[in-house]
Structure 1
Amino acid sequence: MICGRANPESAWHRDREEKRMKSNGKTISKNTVIIKRLDADHGRETFKNYLPLNREMVKEIGKKVKMIFDDLGGSSLIKSSRDVYIKPNAVGSNAYVYTRPEVLEAAIQYWFAAGAKNIYVIENCTQANCTRFVFETIGYNAVCKKTGAIPVYLDEGDAVEYDFSGKKSVGSDPKGYVLTKFKMPRIIHEKLIREKDANLYVNIPKLKTHSMGVVTLGIKNQWGFPIHCDRSPDHNYNLPHKIVDVLSHVRPDVTLIEGVEGTIFGHYPPLALADRCVRPFRVLIGGKNVVAVDIVGARIFGKKIQDVPHLKIALERNLGDGIQSEQDITITGDYSTYDDLDILDELSQYGGQYPDDLIPEFPKDVTIIKGKEMACREGCVNNSLSVLQGIYLDQHGKGGWTMIMGKGFEKDVIDNITGPVLVVGPCAVKETGSNLVDRLGGKKVYFSRECNDLTALVESMCHLMKVSPFKLAPPINLIKAGYLLLQMKLNRSSARMTNPLANFVKLR
């Protein structure tokens, strides 16, 4: 998976230095953020059908991507290895949750034209899935084949251990970390950390709010680097601290937020709610300082630094390259002030900020019980509700069961549970798990034992709601699926993938 570095020729180095000096005749500071508007018609009367972009939009994306990268330094940004690593957001294969393949393709074509020798498209998708399947179903494998880029599935291969350093362990601090170390793929350790001065790292997230992290932009995109099993513990009130911990180890050279569309009401919109959750912002936002880019990106949603915990923590930990406030950032391009960033002129309809929490549409025949304490939006609550909402609205999943999360329950509330019950998170499991199993029997009690064990949630809900896991992803040829699964196994994937028989067999 890791290719050897190129031997740079001295002539290429001289040309590179000349281009660095010229930098297209412009001086762009590291704390400058460029915003380009996409004028082409999005061509959508409804967002309930996710379709490729029209030819006019694709052409304009190529032009605007080039303008942004040129203004940031263009070929002068390519380093001595001439290798470029591009990380899109390929969290999953649901519509509008991942970076548009058209933007990824434009970026790949740009960096090859700028002198890159090898371009690697790197990602580790969310839990309950594996990156090979995601790349295949959302078109990234096709983009790589077309352009000559190399896909790198970060859930496969060796990993290297790093520290979650933002807090002490729970043994020293009751609000500290349960897990103080995590593993990142070896290729990230070697190419983007140890040899960061030789390799260009380009970060291309999707413009989204996030029901657990407020927004998911350039900083949150780095959360794809910890392996699946190390993301689950502390996915609670400690999530913003851990996001910044990862950023402290690995930081992109260039960030380009893809905002052809953006999502509000969270980051995983059900198609049934797409016309409320997806907004046609039609912008691209670029810069060299990922913190600056995210501060500007958050303002598209009307959100300031104090509204986004991981942004506030990043500045407190001096990861903003001198930025202390929004006023330390220069905005240029098609917009020049924060007041301009109400792009669709509709923020007032939402009280000045687009919502990042879920639309409260859940099955009426599923009883949702939250404890008085530790029902964390960042973990057991919104992670569970997001999965529940998607399976209910898009797959017409069945109800007739109970879900509990948090701790501090009234005894009679728990004692009144008679049917199947899903117990989510370590707090609820510790307080109620044994009692429920003793009273109802193991066949009626399902467990998702960590703050954010997405695989356990999906498997449990597929069984409870009688929905096949195959329906949760775009269709794929069974022979192709078998081949991808074999490759995943042969390459020792660490992905926590949903069992395809979860609707038939109780697994949790």
Structure 2
Amino acid sequence: QVTIIPQEVYDSSEIASKIGMYLDGRDIDFKNKTIFLKPSFVFPVSDMDKTIAINTHIAVVTGVARVFSERGARTIFIAEHRTQGRARYAFAMVGIKKAVKDIQNVKFCYLDEKPTKLVTINNPFIKDHMIKYPKMLLDGTIDYFVSLPKLKGNNYAGVTLSIKNNFGLISKKERLKHHDDSLHEHLADIALIRQPDLIITDAIVSGEGNGPSETDPVKTHMLIVGSNCLAVDIACCYLIEKNPKEVRHLKLLSERGIGPLDISEVEITNKAYLDSKRKKFRDPDLNLNVHPGIKIYKGKDVCNQGCIAFLRSYLDSYGKNLGWDVLSGMTIIVGKDLDIPEEELKKLEKKKTIVYGECAKKFKKYGVYFKGCPPDYIIAFFKLSLQTKLPNNPYFQYVSYPKFVKTWLIYLLQRVFRF
């Protein structure tokens, strides 16, 4: 069963009241239980307007934390892994600490500082797949795992819903291992380890188009709540008129019996409200030809969920914030099985040429080479700014360098002294 809770604004008190009524109607005892809240702080910046269609809003996180605190939970962990900088940096930037300061029993769980266990997936979608997963979700520490995804488009996975939100449980290194055309299988395997006990999707303002970091806000005015991850994700797909059969990780998990794939199989409370808010969202656009002044050399064999999606995200970060003209004159070389005439290669200006990924390695002397399969996206942002003729990436304006340095130092100190 999935419940649609109308919610027009980000008011943590209203959200707490409505989620409280939902939980009280299910007669679940949370007294002395340990709760694990997993929001998405994928873009850790302090500008709430910038991230309203990107991150799980802190009003949702705060409201949900308050509900469990008022019902006697022993500990409420708010947990997230690192994206840009350490996890501590994300928490410092989004303002969650100040927002929950008056809520009892809340603790911050920096997943990049927590022990992991190497899990061998039973009957994995990727052969011999093993994943380093948070130990606390496996050893009985956590009574209730609550996923708090933001509904948005995603260049890599098509959509970000509760299954994609699990990606933030594992390290960047683990994420990049299969950040290629096996990404959906990777996501499905992570979901096989442990599914959330409750999903509360932030669809008050949803993100349309190219995510995770450049979605356009759409007011959808609801929370989408349920206990089956697939059922909730299917309801989210229904809201944005996305065929869930086209989202491979949802299809794989449904075939494995985790949950339904068709909206007709989902019992929805308040479906009339859901129907009234339905809107066809634009799918993410992975076309690299975003400006007539860009030259693209793309091999026959190239990963859309890896190098292509990353490249489009970099282009979006420049084009949507500085204007697409800033990309004019750039050349991109990506993919396998690519033959470029020598006379064309000799004409390329090295600092205006991006040679991206292991598959394009043979062309590295003709441009700025980004190694990796796929390349590390944080390193890529720096290289684009420092080694090419592109200007500094506009995302750097959101960085708090004092907080960045401080949280790195705290991270290093706790690694040594284990405080």
Deviation at 1:489, TM superposition (A): 2.1
Deviation at 1:216, TM superposition (A): 0.9
Match of 2:240 in 1: 301
1:331 aligned onto 2:261 = no
Q: Deviations over 1:318-357 (max 9, x none)?
A: 222xx3643321000x325xxx64544543xxxxx53233
Match of 1:415 in 2: 345
Distance 1:139 1:364 in 2: 40
CA contact (8 A) 2:201 2:224 kept: yes
Distance 1:35 1:465 in 2: 48
The 1:394–1:489 alpha-carbon spacing in structure 2 relative to 1, beyond 3 Å, is: farther
CA contact (8 A) 2:318 2:394 kept: no
1:445 aligned onto 2:396 = no
Question: Which of 1 and 2 has greater Rg?
Answer: 1
Please point out which of 153, 166, 169 is paired with 1:225.
169
Please point out which of 11, 15, 18 is paired with 1:61.
15
Distance 1:484 1:265 in 2: 32
Match of 2:410 in 1: 487
Match of 1:496 in 2: none
TM-score (norm 2): 0.86
CA contact (8 A) 1:144 1:151 kept: no
Deviation at 1:286, TM superposition (A): 0.5
TM-score (norm 1): 0.72
- One-letter code aligned to 2:398: P
Distance 1:417 1:451 in 2: 27
Distance 1:492 1:113 in 2: 34
Distance 1:124 1:263 in 2: 21
> 3-state DSSP class of the match of 1:282?
strand
CA contact (8 A) 1:265 1:359 kept: no
CA contact (8 A) 2:234 2:244 kept: yes
CA contact (8 A) 1:363 1:392 kept: no
RMSD: 2.8
Match of 2:48 in 1: none
CA contact (8 A) 1:425 1:452 kept: yes
User: Which deviates more, 231-240 or 107-116?
Assistant: 231-240
Match of 1:182 in 2: 131
CA contact (8 A) 1:281 1:343 kept: no
Distance 1:459 1:161 in 2: 31
Please point out which of 208, 225, 238 is paired with 2:152.
208
User: Which deviates more, 401-410 or 117-126?
Assistant: 401-410
Distance 1:83 1:58 in 2: 21
1:256 aligned onto 2:200 = yes
Please point out which of 458, 461, 478 is paired with 2:384.
461
Match of 1:193 in 2: 138
Q: How many residues align?
A: 402
> 3-state DSSP class of the match of 1:236?
coil
Please point out which of 208, 215, 218 is paired with 1:279.
218
The 1:138–1:363 alpha-carbon spacing in structure 2 relative to 1, beyond 3 Å, is: farther
Please point out which of 124, 142, 147 is paired with 1:166.
124
CA contact (8 A) 2:234 2:262 kept: no
Distance 2:331 2:261 in 1: 46
Please point out which of 78, 83, 89 is paired with 1:121.
78
The 1:325–1:123 alpha-carbon spacing in structure 2 relative to 1, beyond 3 Å, is: same
Distance 1:254 1:409 in 2: 47
Please point out which of 98, 101, 107 is paired with 1:142.
98
CA contact (8 A) 2:244 2:261 kept: no
Q: Deviations over 1:266-300 (max 9, x none)?
A: 32344xxx6xx211101101111111111111111
Aligned 1:295-444 pairs, distance under 5 A: 295-320=234-259, 323=260, 325-332=262-269, 334-336=270-272, 341-344=274-277, 346-347=279-280, 354-357=282-285, 362-373=290-301, 375-395=302-322, 400-412=329-341, 415=345, 418-420=348-350, 421-429=353-361, 432-433=362-363, 436-437=364-365, 440=366, 444=367
1:290 aligned onto 2:229 = yes
Instruction: Extract unaligned runs of 5+ from structure 1.
Output: 1-31, 43-52, 170-176, 348-352, 494-508
Instruction: Extract unaligned runs of 5+ from structure 2.
Output: 46-50
Deviation at 1:147, TM superposition (A): 2.2
Match of 2:396 in 1: 472
- One-letter code aligned to 1:369: Y
Residue identity over aligned pairs, in percent, reads 23
Deviation at 1:58, TM superposition (A): 4.2
- One-letter code aligned to 1:406: G
User: Which deviates more, 57-66 or 236-245?
Assistant: 57-66
> 3-state DSSP class of the match of 1:90?
coil
Match of 2:211 in 1: 267
The 1:287–1:452 alpha-carbon spacing in structure 2 relative to 1, beyond 3 Å, is: farther
> 3-state DSSP class of the match of 2:177?
coil
Distance 2:369 2:225 in 1: 44
CA contact (8 A) 2:162 2:233 kept: yes
Distance 2:377 2:108 in 1: 25
Distance 1:264 1:417 in 2: 39
